[in-house]
Copies of this chain bind each other. A is one copy, B any other.
């Protein structure tokens, strides 16, 4: 019975923190948001060198062969610094590839592990419901239609695509009939696209009744929750630091009960979320029968807590909080995006209710 990070996991956290502080300090994040694409490449190179790109890939394919818990620590660190990197798409592709044939695995896993190739994820319609007539059909071995809100697809080499029946396809981004165009979101540190399929050659993984997609969705929800945890932690830390330093009416504002209690409420909401996210990752790795429910709750609960923290941290900062100066808004927007990606909290909680047979 040991519900804590191992020594190796703590070292992993520390090395990530170090490399992200070097490769993605605030001014570099800001530069990326303003169009300097090199930043994301540098961050990814640094992450790949540390092994993050192959975290979930078996050692035989050049990866670290670790579990979702380590991936969660990575997502949290990225959220904490608002660093741009195709970690989510690439990690989920690695998971999806686990059920591919060995030839496909040999083709892709080493390249993903080394950081040479990255992957994107186009499953929004199957997971969160189709918008604007999107959706991807698969007939006569061809994929047709559109997928919105694809994650990390722009610049990727490989796509994981869910069709309307919930089957998963691997699509190379050079394939004929495929076009990817960026969507602009509030969060300039993230990579979101629309993908159009005009008769693209599809390669469905096993037709398993949606199990693979469910596992992928659960992992994505947990990683998004971890991203929110990291971003919210930074928002809280910055608020507390500011409250200790900013003086008004002859006192540091953190000595005012109103400000102190806002900070306390943020901490009281956020701190136990760490255990929720850890448990969700641990369950994904080790207790599959609990995994889906906890993943849903992690996604939904972190969405609510981090909306509260983002807003409250901004309030504690007062006027400076709404400017670009401290970069507080990067975290604010990051959790704003995470909340909606692959389903907002109401939708995700409805899923949790269905899992427990509470919906007719």
Per-residue B-contact encoding for A255-267, CB less than 8 Å = 1, 0 else? 0111001000000
Chain B residues near A261 (CB, 8 Å)? 257-258
Q: Count residues of A near B (Cβ-Cβ below 8 Å).
A: 4
Interface positions, chain A 77-122, Cβ under 8 Å from B, are none
Chain B residues near A256 (CB, 8 Å)? 257
CA distance A261 to B260 in the complex (A): 13
CA distance A257 to B261 in the complex (A): 10
Minimum distance in angstroms from A207 CB to a CB of chain B: 34
Per-residue B-contact encoding for A239-268, CB less than 8 Å = 1, 0 else? 000000000000000001110010000000
Residue of B nearest to A261 (CB): B258
CA distance A277 to B257 in the complex (A): 34
Minimum distance in angstroms from A249 CB to a CB of chain B: 12
Minimum distance in angstroms from A352 CB to a CB of chain B: 19
Chain B residues near A257 (CB, 8 Å)? 256-258, 261
Minimum distance in angstroms from A261 CB to a CB of chain B: 6
CA distance A257 to B259 in the complex (A): 9
CA distance A191 to B328 in the complex (A): 56
Interface positions, chain A 253-300, Cβ under 8 Å from B, are 256-258, 261
Minimum distance in angstroms from A83 CB to a CB of chain B: 37
CA distance A92 to B183 in the complex (A): 58
6 contacts between A and B (CB under 8 A): A256-B257, A257-B257, A257-B258, A257-B261, A258-B258, A258-B261
Top 3 nearest A-B pairs (CB, nearest first) are A257-B257, A257-B258, A258-B261
